[in-house]
Amino acid sequence: MTAIPEPNAILASLRDSGHADLPAVDIRIGASVLDDAIKDASSSFSDPVILSDGGPYRTPAGPVVDRLAEQLGDCPVIQLGTGTVRADEETVERAVAEVGHDRLVVSVGAGTLTDIAKVTAQRTGSHHVAVQTACSINGFIADRSVLVIAGAKRTVVSRWPDKLIADSDILTAAPAGLNLAGVGDLSTVPNAVAEWQLAAALGHGPAYDAAVVEPVLAAMPALPSLAKAAHDAEPDGLADLARLLAGSGLSMGIVGSTAPASGSEHAVSHLLEMAFAHRPGPAAPHGMQVTVATRLALRVWQLVDRTIRSTRPQVRVADEATSRDAVEHAFIELGAKTVEECWTGYSAKRSWLLAHQADVEAMVADWDAFTRTLALPTPEQFDEVSHASGLPIRAGDLGPGYDDDLLFWALRSSHLLRERMSIVDVADVLGVWSDETARSIIADAEEG
């Protein structure tokens, strides 16, 4: 059995190795840890308020929100949804207005609610205790939140929680699919790390720091057993899954970027969620979407590798008018504000590429040396883990409303969404990123 690192041990190890400015986060994971953790928080921080997404979270001792409100002196409860909530500016503004200033915000909900709470705590100067209600994502602990801004998914700086509570009594009551989504989110880390190495080698974004991702990468063989724990609602296994998700979340906060855990597969997922905001019915869990998208990203790596090794590709950055047209064509159906928001991010990346074209050319010239530094699975190796874990493989596995056309649009447009550098950007500047190649990747993944 692969050992799952304790997030507190990860922090201690990084401190010992010279990392400075690490967060003082109190991480409580395990059986029946909720009551003591809340008691400690209430003795340290005053004027509590509970922020909830309205989900029916329970333990054998009763409804979680009711228990906490009583334990915190019948404190007020702000319910932002009826089981689901949208992390847009309007919802954040409502939360900020209702919370007030200098309070103890106790968030009880899924990842989206926690993102809102982290931003709310930052903007109100409040302390924050995050009560994790499922093992659905790795972002419960990071000082980053994903918000919808002008219709586009954007990662913003928020606030480290003072405490993260992942009580397995709560986690075992979560839908199995939500807990399995956390396994999916973790399965994408090797691709995200490779894209981080790619960007860092070009000098774009944060420098690569292997130490912050090694504990999570080393635990990848445990994913099938963690998936079984998610299926079976097995308390110890879910606690281990929460630990690994927390370790991944810590890596993002420590680096100051989502790069250690979010690559082009997350951009594809964000686009799928943006599309579903304009469609009836809910989007699939984020962790399920990124699993399907990773199968595509790994094939883009193969496309780039094949291109560089078989030809002498020229590095060319499209002119501004062509790039602007591409962004407008990709996102016009989502609205003019979304087009402008995405163009702001992509145009900054395009300007950077123009200024650093020689760096990209040097990487292409020394491609073999660069790729030897990567620990990237092949699509077939990734599928072995996905099959063993019971994770989705194709668009149709994600549920109603998903098909190859939607997946094609999200993959084809993924590099246009944000400023972050990805393997799709490399395919684009090498002149091999087109409708035809994106559709061929979708078709190959459908057969795989």
Domains annotated for the chain, with CATH where assigned, are: 7-187 (3.40.50.1970), 258-447 (1.20.1090)
- Beta-carbon count within 10 A of 190 CB: 23
- Indicate the pLDDT class of residue 2, thresholds 50, 70 and 90: confident
The per-residue pLDDT for 60 is 87
The per-residue pLDDT for 138 is 94
- Beta-carbon count within 10 A of 403 CB: 12
Place of tokens 């106790």: 106
Which residues face 148 on adjacent strands?
88, 153
The per-residue pLDDT for 74 is 95
C-beta separation of 34 from 66 below 8 A: no
Place of tokens 């109190």: 26
Average pLDDT over residues 93-101: 97
In total, the chain counts a number of residues equal to 448
The per-residue pLDDT for 1 is 61
Within 8 A by CB and 6+ apart from 328, the residues are 339, 343
pLDDT at 402 over 70: yes
User: Which of 8-12, 220-224, 372-376, 415-419 is the least confident region?
Assistant: 8-12
Encoded tokens for 112: 């989206």
Average pLDDT over residues 138-165: 94
Average pLDDT over residues 36-64: 94
CA pair distance 302, 315, nearest whole angstrom: 18
The per-residue pLDDT for 406 is 97
Dihedral sign for Cα 52, 56, 60, 66, please.
Answer: positive
Calculate the average pLDDT of the chain.
95
CA pair distance 4, 410, nearest whole angstrom: 33
Q: Are strands 163-167 and 127-132 parallel, antiparallel or unpaired?
A: parallel
The per-residue pLDDT for 231 is 96
Alpha helices in 203-263 (DSSP H): 210-218, 223-232, 235-255
CA pair distance 275, 273, nearest whole angstrom: 5
pLDDT in tens, 347-365: 999 999 999 999 999 999 9
- Indicate the pLDDT class of residue 3, thresholds 50, 70 and 90: confident
Secondary structure of 336-383 in the HEC alphabet? HHHHHHHHHHHHHHHHHHHHCHHHHHHHHHCHHHHHCCCCCCCHHHHH
CA pair distance 299, 328, nearest whole angstrom: 26
- Indicate the pLDDT class of residue 392, thresholds 50, 70 and 90: very high
pTM, full prediction: 0.95
Dihedral sign for Cα 421, 426, 427, 432, please.
Answer: positive
Q: Which amino acid is at 218?
A: A
Q: What stretch of H or E contains 109?
A: strand 104-109
CA pair distance 185, 52, nearest whole angstrom: 23
